[in-house]
């Protein structure tokens, strides 16, 4: 155990010393993004920019020439152009910004393996280095892993407050520093699609009622824009609404769809009277025990602090003009991404869940 304490202290010192280094340094074990990983992103950009010529034609031929309303044509152009710009801006920030680097020492910078004996190298880590416990250790990166950070096998790294890995956005992760921009992108893309669909549908209705006062090809553009806006709204809108729900309840996508993450946060189990690991592992749970975990997950959001504070923890700002980036491209979440306050009800619910799991396990074998 003396070796384990000394070794952990040395790694922690290396971990603190590497905080100024960028995670983007060359890593031979990090999966490389290939050219075809960018194709979905190009499709998204094409969907945003592709309808722009049709929008401009509709505004000129319908509002300017047919209705003789140049002011409305300019207004619709400015609004649609502004929504397009902020959609592309938040998309760019989401794709290019690091989602949340967990600065870790590399193998070259870690503990000198020449000083480790064979018996010490094979020695188990014990509870202090248990990778199943939150905020302890990632045995894939072989480095400390903060709370709510998760290892992405596609990116080959741990990500602060990882929400999910998105193949549509340049095959990258959505995490602490990119989640607000990602939600901003979904929101602005939905608003752009709804706005274009509304303007185009009204123009199309006018063309149907006044077929001889409009250009022959303009209704085709209006119909295409209406269908485009409706389809994009139906595709992107539910994703935006889903993430609004996640923010309101203080969850990430991984935490919402994976109820068995609660097992990592359970208090220590009794040493005797059950056959469960500490913490319990999902594969060893019976059907009844799985239901207990899912029921507890439905009642408990581990980081839910009330909807006002939950939104502030994602979109809050501290400076006087901090609302500007939030409005224009979403910005990044406040805080360091390593420390997350918990739901004050969490300890009681987790303690009851642990007791119920032990009782169910005892009844299972007796």
Write a three-state SS string for 99-126.
CCECCCCCCCCCCCHHHCCHHHHCCCCC
- Delimit the domains of the chain by residue range: 2-14+31-249, 259-364
Confidence of residue 73 (pLDDT cuts 50, 70, 90): very high
Angle at 299 between CA 298 and CA 300, to 5 degrees: 100
Q: For 120-130, what is each residue's pLDDT tens digit?
A: 333 334 444 44
With 0-12 CB in 10 A as exposed, 13-18 as middle and 19+ as buried, what is 287?
Answer: exposed
Which pair of structure tokens corresponds to residue 207? Answer: 């063309």
The secondary element (H helix, E strand) that includes residue 158 is strand 157-159
Mean pLDDT is highest, among 28-32, 69-73, 104-108, for 69-73
Report whether pLDDT(319) > 90. no
Q: Are 264 and 133 in contact (CB under 8 A)?
A: yes
Question: Does residue 63 contact residue 207 with C-beta atoms inside 8 Å?
Answer: no
**DSSP, res 174:** E
Q: Where does residue 335 fall: left (phi above 0), alpha (psi -120 to 50 degrees), or beta otherwise?
A: left
User: Which one, of 292, 251, 265, lies nearest residue 130 by Cα?
Assistant: 265
Q: How far apart are the first and last CA of the chain?
A: 37
Dihedral pair phi/psi, residue 96, rounded to 5° = -90, -25
Cis peptide before 279 (omega within 30 of 0): yes
CA-closest candidate to residue 313, choices 262, 257, 259, 249: 249
* pLDDT of residue 240 exceeding 90: yes
Residue 150 predicted with pLDDT over 50:
yes
DSSP bridge pairs for 151:
158
Q: Which of 222, 228, 194, 196 is nearest to 207 (CA)?
A: 222
- Average pLDDT in the chain: 83
pLDDT value of residue 105: 45
Answer yes or no: is pLDDT of 131 > 50.
no
Question: What's the average model confidence in pLDDT over 143-153?
Answer: 88
Report the candidate in 338, 330, 325 with the shortest Cα–Cα distance to residue 314: 330
Radius of gyration (C-alpha) of the chain in whole angstroms: 26
Strand partners of residue 244: none
Predicted pLDDT of residue 133 = 57
Q: Can you spell out the DSSP letters for 65-105? A: IIS--HHHHHHHHHHHHHHHHHHHHHHHHHHHS-S-B----
- Residue 337 to residue 147: CA distance in whole angstroms: 9
Task: Read off the pLDDT of residues 261-307 as tens digits, 9 standing for 90 and up.
Answer: 999 899 998 888 788 888 898 999 999 999 999 999 999 999 999 99
Query: What is the model's pTM?
Result: 0.82
Residues 6+ apart with CB under 8 A from 130: 136, 137
Question: 143 pairs with which residues across the strands?
Answer: 138
Instruction: Please tell me the predicted confidence (pLDDT) of residue 138.
Output: 82
Output the pLDDT for position 227: 96
Q: pLDDT tens, 77-90?
A: 999 999 999 999 99
Dist. CA 80–CA 5, nearest whole Å: 60
Instruction: State the average pLDDT over residues 348-355.
Output: 93
User: Can you tell me which residue has the tokens 């607000």?
Assistant: 180
């Amino acid at each position: 155990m003396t070796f384990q304490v000394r070794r952990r202290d040395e790694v922690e010192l290396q971990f603190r010393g590497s905080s100024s280094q960028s995670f983007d340094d060359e890593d031979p074990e990090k999966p490389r993004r290939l050219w075809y990983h960018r194709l979905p992103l190009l499709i998204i950009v094409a969907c945003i920019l592709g309808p722009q010529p049709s929008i401009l034609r509709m505004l000129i031929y319908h509002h300017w020439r047919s209705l003789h309303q140049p002011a409305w044509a300019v207004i619709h152009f400015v609004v649609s152009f502004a929504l397009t710009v902020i959609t592309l801006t938040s998309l760019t920030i989401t794709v290019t910004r690091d989602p949340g680097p967990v600065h870790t020492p590399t193998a070259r910078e870690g503990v000198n393996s020449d000083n480790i004996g064979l018996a010490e190298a094979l020695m188990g880590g014990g509870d202090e280095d248990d990778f199943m416990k939150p905020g302890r250790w990632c045995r894939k990166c072989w480095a400390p892993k903060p709370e709510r950070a998760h290892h992405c096998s596609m990116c080959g790294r741990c990500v602060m407050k990882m929400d999910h890995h998105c193949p549509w956005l340049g095959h990258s992760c959505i995490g602490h520093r990119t989640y607000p921009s990602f939600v901003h992108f979904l929101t602005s893309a939905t608003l752009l699609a709804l706005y274009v669909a509304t303007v185009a549908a009204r123009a199309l209705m006018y063309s149907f009622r006044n077929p001889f006062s409009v250009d022959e090809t303009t209704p085709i553009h209006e119909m295409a824009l209406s269908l485009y806006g409706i389809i994009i709204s139906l595709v992107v809108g539910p994703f935006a609404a889903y993430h609004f729900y996640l923010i309101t309840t203080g969850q990430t996508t991984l935490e919402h769809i994976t109820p068995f993450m609660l097992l990592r946060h359970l208090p220590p189990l009794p040493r005797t009277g059950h056959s469960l690991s500490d913490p319990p592992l999902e594969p060893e749970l019976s059907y009844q025990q799985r239901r207990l975990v899912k029921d507890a997950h439905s009642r408990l959001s581990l980081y839910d602090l009330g909807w006002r504070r939950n939104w502030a923890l994602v979109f809050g700002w501290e400076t006087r003009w901090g609302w500007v980036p939030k409005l224009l491209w979403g910005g990044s979440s406040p805080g360091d991404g390593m420390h997350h306050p918990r739901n004050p009800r969490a300890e009681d619910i987790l303690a009851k869940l642990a007791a119920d799991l032990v009782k169910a396990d005892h009844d299972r074998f007796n």
